[in-house]
Amino acid sequence: MGRLSVDLCGLSLDNPVIPASGTFGYGYEFAELYDINLLGTFSFKGTTREPRFGNPTPRIAECTSGMINAVGLQNPGVEKVISQELPRLKACFHKPVMANVSGFSVEEYAYTCAALDREPQVGWLEVNVSCPNVHGGGMSFGTDPKAAAEVTRAVKAVTTKPVILKLSPNVTDIVAIAQACEEAGADGISLINTLLGMRIDLKTKRPVIANTMGGFSGPAIFPVALRMVYQVSRAVKIPVVGMGGVASAEDVIEMMLAGATAVEIGAENLVNPYACRDIIQALPEVMDRYHISTLKEIIGGAH
């Protein structure tokens, strides 16, 4: 075990750096650029029971220090993910992978998680109850402690692998929702997903995104994410995976000091496809600069 290694829900990671779902595809796209096995793991594209085409275009809007997206969980559905995407992923990534799951009913979450739980390469199930882009689904589960707990219990009842609930920041009290998930049996919490935002085109005087609103991500949201990771990690005993605007090795260390066991990098992958590789390579030098011998020792160090 090296200086960078951490333990996430009983599985060892060579380092805490995890590309976030929706920004890294199924891995093989990035494997053409560098050896993705240097990653701790990665969270593959959000998967639903049935195929989804996603939201109408345009789906992306640029912002100062960030972006807004309303892709709408476009994916081929869990059966094709298992039969087509995972074999391609396995050929280029030789570690356990994190499966990201979304749903529009408790039953859908349970069905999709049960199917992915049977796949040998899946190490963790990251259950997204927080996507703000899809009407009638995701976000409603993540904004109510009882609903989030119901999803947690349903998924835990049909799975054997660690279940990590991914929470929305678009709530008044994220701590109460995290605690409800923990009490319902969650093995970990990941946060934050995107904030809800929009842009207006001054020429057309209409919203830039066809869906009007979308998920705001990028460096601009880092302080909000850091605050929520700090609050939740103090309130629960299970591991926290921190994300939201992380763009450097220094950001990773700051997230871990706030209480994160592992750290996901999202929008930065879309700006620089080598971002996660560069962050991992930079971590030892940054650790030396701040007199950190191992990353395990700093988790929650700012509390």
Q: State yes or no: pLDDT of 215 exceeds 90.
A: yes
Q: Residue 130 — pLDDT band, cuts 50, 70, 90?
A: confident
Partners of residue 63 on adjacent β-strands: 66
pLDDT band for position 133 (50/70/90)? very low
Annotated catalytic residue: which of 113, 131, 181, 276? 131
pLDDT at residue 110 is higher than 70: yes
Could you read off the pLDDT of 45-60 as tens digits, one per residue? 999 999 999 999 999 9
pLDDT of 137 > 50? The answer is no
Instruction: Work out the mean pLDDT of the chain and round it to a whole number.
Output: 95
**Upper half-sphere CA count for residue 105 (Cβ side, 13 Å):** 5
CATH of 6-298, one of 3.10.50.30, 3.20.20.70, 2.60.260.20, 3.40.920.10: 3.20.20.70
User: Is 131 an active-site residue?
Assistant: yes
Sorting pLDDT into bands at 50, 70 and 90, what band is 139? low
Question: What is the mean pLDDT of the segment spanning 129-133?
Answer: 61
Q: What is the pLDDT of residues 160-191, one digit of tens each?
A: 999 999 999 999 999 999 999 999 999 999 99
pLDDT surpasses 60 at 131: no
Q: How would DSSP label each residue in the chain?
A: --TT-EEETTEEESSSEEEPTTSSTTSHHHHTTS-GGGSS--BPPPB-SS-B--SPSP-EEEETTEEEE-----B--HHHIIIIIHHHHHHH--S-EEEEE--SSHHHHHHHHHHHHT-TTEEEEEEE---TTSTTSTHHHHT-HHHHHHHHHHHHTT--S-EEEEPPSSSS-HHHHHHHHHHTT-SEEEE--PEEE--EETTTTEESSTTS-EEEESGGGHHHHHHHHHHHHHH-SS-EEEESS--SHHHHHHHHHHT-SEEEE-THHHH-TTHHHHHHHHHHHHHHHTT-S-SGGGTTTT-
